[in-house]
Structure 1
Amino acid sequence: MEKNSENIAKIAAMIDHTNLNPCARKADIEKLCAEAKEYGFASVCVNPSFVPLASELLAGSDVKVCTVVGFPLGANTIDDKAAQAGVTVYDGAREVDMVVNLGLVKDGLWDDVFEEIYAVRCAVNDVMIPGDPKIILKVILETCYLSDEEIIKCCECAEKAGADFVKTSTGFAILKGPDGKLLPNGATTHAVSLMRKTVGGHLGVKASGGIHNWEEAVAMVEAGASRIGASAGVQIINN
């Protein structure tokens, strides 16, 4: 994809400009929101405690507020995830990225995986927001831990449960090789392509984790991503 003004705007409109740093401060979120408005990003993705602030800063703009649920491990109870999701929507989030319970996935408990996603879908639907569009729900699979078969089954559960996107990664996974060295933990074109093949045009696919520049973002889009999660949104557009 040539880097011209038209394609830059196209990629920018796919980016969830992200700051999920546990030490993020108010000034960091203010900067994040200002950049999102300047560059025309799809959303800012922030931790739940910053949703009210981001909502205030982005009021009247086209940039949505995205947040995370069950982040980063996905090991919360169904009730915890559903309750947290409902609160974040009440506080102003219009997109919710939930982490799937990886223990359920590894045990092959697909009915339970479906029930968890469906519970969050229902919780965000239950928050009445007059005049606002449907809340977007994205399901984080943490693909670096999963086999291709598990990725496919997770995608099928997400679609059945009414999710809007499947997402590759939190960016916080810790994966080590036999030598003890850290392995890549983010999005891969293989995972994105497999997810797109599985969901077809029914769901969006969000590539997230380890996307630092224009070339990497374009590779994910060409593999089938319709959204990019990145803390390097400005760098992707400018470099």
Structure 2
Amino acid sequence: MSATENPTVESIAALIDHAILKPELTDAEVESDLDLAGRWGVFSVCVRPSDVPRSVARLAGTGVATGTVIGFPHGSTSTAAKTAESRRALEDGAAELDMVLHIGRLRSGDLAAVTDDIAAVVAVAEGRIVKVILETAFLTDEQVVAGSKAAEAAGASFVKTSTGFAGGGATLHHLRLMRDAVSPAVRVKASGGVRGLDTLLQMRAVGVDRFGTSATETILTDVQRLAETGSTSGATDASSY
């Protein structure tokens, strides 16, 4: 993988969904983060649903896509609420949807309900990318595998580790489980705790295709430093996402 073997700012930025999801963010703070994403040329931003119109307008012409979250962060809203939220997000200009599956139903073993819930959002998306957040910190290995397989059965484009708000983030162990559980047609997104280039490269090497992080500037500054000096700073971002 070229991004792993010879990372450049462009190749790593193309893997990043810059997360702008903290509930306390002000309008000015959201706009500052959107501008940061535009400057670095990341693949996309992942914003709160109410910020989708602002993001689409502010990032127009930058090539940075706008994504948003559905059923976030708990996943326990009804399927009807998730589909309504999805429709509105798409009407507002969202290009991708990161939905939280029903964690309690997955832990209960009700895979039919979990699959149907995901499939309903996939249907509303009409071919747009849907990423399914498992919230791996709450799951056994068997549940991680089952949730990943349910996401693929429902037609999702990605399986994703975490919201970043559950006290645990992406781990190499869970990422390997997810990658092995789904076919090559389904991609894997790591989120929660991706705060430096070394971590990102380790995860990329086990098959991760996209990264949700608020530490974009730290990571991409590390790429620049690596090119200049051959080493990274090891700095971390204090964000939970």
**TM-score, normalised by the number of residues in structure 1:** 0.88
Residue in 2 aligned with 1:119? Answer: 120
* Inter-CA distance 160–2: structure 2 relative to 1 (3 Å threshold): closer
* Structure 2: runs of 5 or more not aligned: 223-241
What amino acid is the match of 1:65? T
What secondary structure, in the 3-state scheme, does the structure 1 residue paired with 2:72 have?
coil
- For residues 3 and 35 of structure 1, the distance between their equivalents in structure 2, rounded to whole angstroms, comes to 23
- For residues 58 and 134 of structure 2, the distance between their equivalents in structure 1, rounded to whole angstroms, comes to 30
- For residues 120 and 4 of structure 2, the distance between their equivalents in structure 1, rounded to whole angstroms, comes to 41
TM alignment of 1:1-239, pairs within 5 A? 6-125=7-126, 134-174=127-167, 185-239=168-222
* Structure 1: runs of 5 or more not aligned: 126-133, 175-184
Deviation at 1:6, TM superposition (A): 4.7
Between the two proteins, the alignment pairs up a number of residues equal to 221
- For residues 150 and 194 of structure 1, the distance between their equivalents in structure 2, rounded to whole angstroms, comes to 10
- For residues 29 and 208 of structure 1, the distance between their equivalents in structure 2, rounded to whole angstroms, comes to 19
Deviation at 1:32, TM superposition (A): 1.7
Task: Give the superposed CA RMSD.
Answer: 1.6
* Inter-CA distance 38–3: structure 2 relative to 1 (3 Å threshold): farther
What amino acid is the match of 2:203? M
Deviation at 1:58, TM superposition (A): 1.3
After the TM superposition, list the runs of 4 or more consecutive aligned residues in structure 1 that deviate by more than 4 angstroms: 1-6
Deviation at 1:169, TM superposition (A): 0.2
What secondary structure, in the 3-state scheme, does the structure 2 residue paired with 1:163 have?
coil
**TM-score, normalised by the number of residues in structure 2:** 0.87
Give me the identity figure in percent.
41
Deviation at 1:5, TM superposition (A): 7.4
What amino acid is the match of 1:203? V
Deviations along 1:182-204, whole A, 9 cap, x unmatched? xxx00001111111111131111
Deviation at 1:84, TM superposition (A): 0.4
